[in-house]
Amino acid sequence: MNGSLGAAELLPDVHPAWLPPTAFRALGARRVRVVGDGPIADTVRAEALAATTAHGGALVTEDPELDLVLTGPDDDPEAFAITRDAAGTTTVTASGPGLLYGFHHLVRAGESAFQETGEHHPAYPVRMLDHWDNVDVHPVMGQVERGYSGGSLLYADGAVRPDLTRVAAYARLLGSIGVNRVALNNVNVHRTEARLLTDLLPEVVRLAEVFRPHGIRAHLSVTFASPILLGGLTTADPLDPEVRSWWARTTAAVYAAIPDFGGYVVKADSEGQPGPFSYGRDHADGANALAEALEPFGGTVFWRAFVYDHHQDWRDRTTDRARAAHDHFTPLDGEFADNVVLQVKNGPIDFQPREPVSPVIAAMPTTRLAVEFQVTQEYTGQQRHVCYLGPQWSEVLRFPFGDREVHTLAAGVTAVSNVGDDPFWTGHPLAQANLYAFGRLAWDPTADPDELLREWIALTFPDPAAHAPLHELMSGSWRAYEDYTAPLGVGFMVRPGDHYGPDVDGYEYTRWGTYHFADRDGVGVDRTRATGTGFTGQYPQPWREVYEDPGTCPDELLLFFHHVPYGHVLHSGKTVVQHVYDTHFAGVEAVERMVTTWESLRGKVSDDVHERVTERLVEQLRCAVEWRDQVNTYFLRKSGVPDAHGRTIH
């Protein structure tokens, strides 16, 4: 089938997410005309037809109340304009996917949007989701690396699924929030997946066809060793002419099959993946070789900055994983080709619930950067816990480096997807909000994440009686998660391997570079210039000073930057150890309130959703209690300082 799945074709056994028929209420009673041809216009037409059929409107060819018009080509096919004439007709014009975005803007904003006039543009051309899906089931990581929503949506039985109906429904959801690029396979590229670039390319063609009608371009994660692995060459040296010509030929074949192919995602010299270092070359040499092959076709290389020493010795206090991306990449600023985007994780270490913003983002003014977020909740409860991450991403995007907020320094945003073949898409039905908020923030990084949460709730849950309680349950859920897990930005007190649940010392003596250094006197990582690893020096003013001094460092990041005694007094007036106790009790209490609130929603949300979330909340509460007790007991035993309120610590 092709990808134009309209709302009328809702899949019976799949949750409609934020596009149930009721979401189209505002639009549906109108007489709607869609003018234009091609895949985007067809998608909009299918949507409009479904919406009007369900709500008593009609698809018309003349006298429309809503006119959706695909114009001739112009330079911003993703933008749309809304006008209103004296007769009361609202017209949306766009020259490409903007028509779809305009349509969904009206759906979301409801009646008021029909009165407005104006132009809308996405903040960036790059609004991308990366799938860490493997074609084959990996012996350790399973089919989706860090996937918490069942198997892969894209692949089954060692190939792209024969029936792509659900992929089309997914593409429809992404198109509705403005996501315009997907990478189709894991950045850790294993043997079978490497071949998506060559002999398995016809499979990729099928996927690209399904995404195209929703304005979404397909990308592949490729292994840097492809010329050896797939091309039979003896080297993958990026400066070798044969290697370059192999990439050129291979890439030309990809474009012959998929003319709107987006480009490559590359994890090189990172966690065991091959890269240019083997040949004495640097990351710019590596990225530029692939960029050269993609350039004639308008393709982009997404080169990841997640590079660090993953064989560190815990005894070595001079190596600091937080420093690694900046140390590796900032000397290369200005050396990357124009069609390279450096993909930088939002924090300097690894998607922890709380990290400072990566200093790399401020340090490469002549490189195109994309901020990478993790929608899949690897370190934030693995879709068993409610954890609405919109506020975290918003804080990052709005973080000021001098007079520029992060979103103005970036050329785009990317994120690791959280969907799978689960009937609710995301395992935890409320984790759909993260996917939604990511897309909406990628379109407008200045949007208020709390408003986006309200928007998602209103679209997803038809009964208004559910809206306020749901908002209350979810809006503070990231803070609650932060409260009952690793304190004050120190991070990584998770179980090694699967990264779920507490294990305070689990990573303390490993090779991964993620330590907290707790002893009987204190805890935290000294990353100061004065006495520590010097990481604070990677920040521009004022942050290099703000973070350097425990007196000015924000409480929530104190242990990321400083090793302090347990009696150190925070800005909040509490000692560090009392803060640990208090937040851990408070975090569990917050989850208990979530349970009660959710219970009150029985009958106000559909039974299947109620049942699934109830099941997950039982686990969240169990796990939060485990976190509270292990962390509190650990610090009581280390410090010997009793809880000021005499609560039970085991």
Residues that bind ligand GCW (CB under 6 A): 132, 145-146, 187-188, 267, 271, 306, 350-351, 378
Rg (CA), the chain: 25
In the structure encoding, which two tokens stand for residue 123, read together?
Answer: 């903040």
Which residue lies nearer to ligand GCW by CB, 3 or 275? 275
CB 325 within 8 A of CB 538: no
Report the C-alpha gap between 374 and 86 in whole angstroms: 46
Q: How far is the CB of 72 from ligand GCW (least distance, A)?
A: 42
CB 432 within 8 A of CB 440: no
Which residue lies nearer to ligand GCW by CB, 345 or 584? 345
Report the C-alpha gap between 132 and 155 in whole angstroms: 12
Question: Degrees (nearest 5) of the Cα angle 495, 192, 257?
Answer: 125
From 130, 282, 372, 378, the catalytic residue: 378
Which residue lies nearer to ligand GCW by CB, 369 or 470? 369
Report the C-alpha gap between 27 and 52 in whole angstroms: 7
Which residue lies nearer to ligand GCW by CB, 351 or 635? 351
For residue 335, indicate whether it is catalytic: no
For residue 350, indicate whether it is catalytic: yes
Q: Where are the alpha helices (DSSP H) in 461-537?
A: 467-475, 477-484
Which residue lies nearer to ligand GCW by CB, 145 or 295? 145
Report the C-alpha gap between 456 and 453 in whole angstroms: 5
From 350, 355, 482, 483, the catalytic residue: 350
Q: How far is the CB of 357 from ligand GCW (least distance, A)?
A: 17
Which residue lies nearer to ligand GCW by CB, 376 or 632? 376
CB 619 within 8 A of CB 595: no
- Cα–Cα nearest to 365, from 398, 395, 330, 393: 330
Task: Give the side-chain half-sphere CA count within 13 A for 24.
Answer: 27
* Backbone conformation region of residue 518, classed left if phi is above 0, alpha if psi is from -120 to 50, else beta: beta
Q: How far is the CB of 188 from ligand GCW (least distance, A)?
A: 5
Which residue lies nearer to ligand GCW by CB, 145 or 455? 145
Q: How far is the CB of 328 from ligand GCW (least distance, A)?
A: 15
Nearest residue to ligand GCW on Cβ basis: 350
| Residues near 431 by beta carbon (within 8 Å), at least 6 away in sequence | 149, 377, 383, 418
Report the C-alpha gap between 342 and 508 in whole angstroms: 30
Q: Where are the alpha helices (DSSP H) in 340-463?
A: 360-363, 390-397, 406-409, 432-443, 449-460
Beta bridge partners of 342: 303, 369
| The pairing of beta strand 400-401 with beta strand 404-405 | antiparallel
Q: How far is the CB of 134 from ligand GCW (least distance, A)?
A: 10
Burial of 5 (0-12, 13-18, 19+ CB in 10 A): buried
Q: How far is the CB of 637 from ligand GCW (least distance, A)?
A: 29
| Inter-axis angle of helices 467-475 and 576-600, nearest 10 | 160
Which residue lies nearer to ligand GCW by CB, 38 or 272? 272
Which residue lies nearer to ligand GCW by CB, 187 or 470? 187
Beta bridge partners of 35: 69
Q: How far is the CB of 14 from ligand GCW (least distance, A)?
A: 27
DSSP annotation of 401: E
Q: How far is the CB of 351 from ligand GCW (least distance, A)?
A: 6
Q: How far is the CB of 42 from ligand GCW (least distance, A)?
A: 36
CA 601 remoteness from chain centre: 28
Report the C-alpha gap between 302 and 56 in whole angstroms: 46
For residue 378, indicate whether it is catalytic: yes
Maximum Cα interatomic distance, the chain, rounded to a whole number of Å: 79
Which residue lies nearer to ligand GCW by CB, 27 or 387? 387
Burial of 189 (0-12, 13-18, 19+ CB in 10 A): buried
Q: How far is the CB of 408 from ligand GCW (least distance, A)?
A: 25
Which phi and psi angles does 307 have, rounded to 5°?
-125, 125
Q: How far is the CB of 453 from ligand GCW (least distance, A)?
A: 25
- Cα–Cα nearest to 283, from 326, 345, 346: 326
Which residue lies nearer to ligand GCW by CB, 128 or 453? 128
Burial of 645 (0-12, 13-18, 19+ CB in 10 A): exposed
From 74, 111, 242, 271, the catalytic residue: 271
CB 317 within 8 A of CB 350: no
**Catalytic annotation, residues:** 271, 350, 378
